[in-house]
Amino acid sequence: MKAKELQERYLKGERDFRGIDLREQDLRGYDLTGINLSKANLSGADLTEANLSQAELFNTDFSRACLKEINLAYAKGESAIFVWSEISHANLDYACFTKAHFSYANLESSTLIGANLIESSLINTILDKANLSGANLTKANLWSAHFYQANLSRAILTEANVEGAYFIEADLGCTNLSKVDLTLAHLTKANLTKAHLMNAYLNSMNLIDVNLSQANLRDADLKNANLQNVILEKANLQGANLVHANLSNVDLTRANLTNAITYKVIWDNANFNHTIMPDGKMYESDELTSKSDTTEKALGDINGMPNKIVQSEHAPAPVGPYSQAVAATGEILFVSGQIAIDPRSNTVVYTDDVVRQTEQVMQNLEAILSAAGYTWQDVVKTTVFLSDMNNFAAVNQVYARYFDADKAPARACVEVSRLPKDVLVEIDCVAVL
């Protein structure tokens, strides 16, 4: 169909143009409000300054189209294709493009306020200076996407893939980044004030000068992270893993560090004014105390913290007066013996298969280690209990997958007359950070 025919039919009141072919057509400035172009082919078309607000665009192909300054507000287009399209300075406010394909598209300076982009693909998409305030990007693929100075305040990025994404100087205030792996994202000078980062993975990240004031980092993994000069005022760091992290010159005023794992953290010149320390006690600053003395006092509070009880929902719950594991002063972890109980059903599995039972045991141990911020590389001692020593070779074959031969921990293996719930194997371990 030619552009002129489309316009004439639209002006006569027709709105249903599903499946039509408008490839390479010139539709610049057309007002097509409320049109239904689902499954239509507009690849290579020019829709500069066109109005497609409230349009239905399900599975519509806009690949390599020019959509500069287009109005797509409130449009609906699940699985629409915008690959390699030019969509800069466009209006996509409150549009619904779930599972859409925006890879390699240019959305620079566009507005996507409240847009629904759940499970959409934005691989290498340019969104510099775009406004995505309140947008929903749950489970979206943002691999290597560019968000320089973009506004993502109050956006939802839960479980999104942000590997290689550039959030330099972006506003992520109040953004939901729960369960997001941010280790390969670029966050230089980003604003993460009041951001939701529960269980976020920030291991070994460079977060220098990032603003995390009032952010929720509960149970976040910040092991080996560089947090120099970061603002963590009133941040929630309960249960966070800060092992080997660098918190030099960090402002922790009124932050909550209850149960945080703080082994070998660098605290030089950190501000602990009214901070809740890992032992749950409030740190009261002394106005006559120097910064270095303040850090030393704070470290004293941390080093004196009680043992931490470790609990993972991905491993069997204790069935007696014991804990899954205990972290002694945040350094040594003692993991209780694990048997082949599947935590989902809380029942013994593979009753006659020692290989499968060993696999389940190792999975349970790994879940507890992970919950405490440890890995298999941190394990220094294990004890293997067998109901029949003839099963040693089979158990050892599974066990060996989890350790490098030249760095394997010390181990003892014993045969016992009977194990809990009549299982075939039980293993415990000790880990040190």
The Cα 414–Cα 386 span in angstroms is: 6
Show Cβ contacts of residue 5 under 8 Å, excluding neighbours closer than 6 positions: none
Nearest to 204 by CA among 219, 182, 177: 182
> If one looks up domain 308-432 in CATH, what number appears?
3.30.1330.40
Strand partners, 241: 221, 261
Show the tokens assigned to 59: 């599975």
Q: Which helix (H) or strand (E) holds 396?
A: helix 392-399
φ, ψ for residue 371, nearest 5 deg: -65, -30
Residue 298 is which amino acid?
Answer: A
Q: Cα separation of 169 and 160, whole Å? A: 19
Q: In a structure prediction context, what are the per-residue pLDDT tens digits for the chain, which is 433 residues long?
A: 899 999 999 999 999 999 999 999 999 999 999 999 999 999 999 999 999 999 999 999 999 999 999 999 999 999 999 999 999 999 999 999 999 999 999 999 999 999 999 999 999 999 999 999 999 999 999 999 999 999 999 999 999 999 999 999 999 999 999 888 888 899 988 999 999 998 888 888 888 888 999 999 999 999 999 999 999 999 999 999 999 999 999 999 999 999 999 888 998 899 998 999 988 888 865 543 344 444 444 444 444 444 567 778 888 887 665 667 766 655 688 999 999 999 988 999 999 999 999 999 999 999 998 888 788 988 889 999 999 999 999 999 999 999 887 788 889 999 999 999 999 999 999 988 7
413 is an active site residue: yes
Closest CA to 113 of 126, 96, 99, 128: 96
Instruction: Name the residue ranges covered by the structural domains of the chain.
Output: 308-432
Phi-psi domain of 194 (left: phi exceeds 0; alpha: psi -120 through 50; beta: other):
left
The residue assigned the tokens 């003395």 is: 293
Q: How many of the other CB atoms lie within 10 Å of CB of 281?
A: 13
- Those residues whose C-beta lies under 8 Å from the C-beta of residue 374, and which sit 6 or more positions away, are 333, 431, 433
59 with 38: CB under 8 angstroms?
A: yes
Identify the burial level of 127 via C-beta atoms within 10 angstroms of its C-beta, where 0-12 means exposed, 13-18 middle and 19 or more buried.
Answer: buried
Distance of CA 301 to the CA centre of its chain: 31
- Determine the angle formed by the axes of helices 354-371 and 392-399, rounding to 10 degrees: 40
Measuring CA to CA, which residue among 319, 354, 323, 320 is closest to residue 340? 354
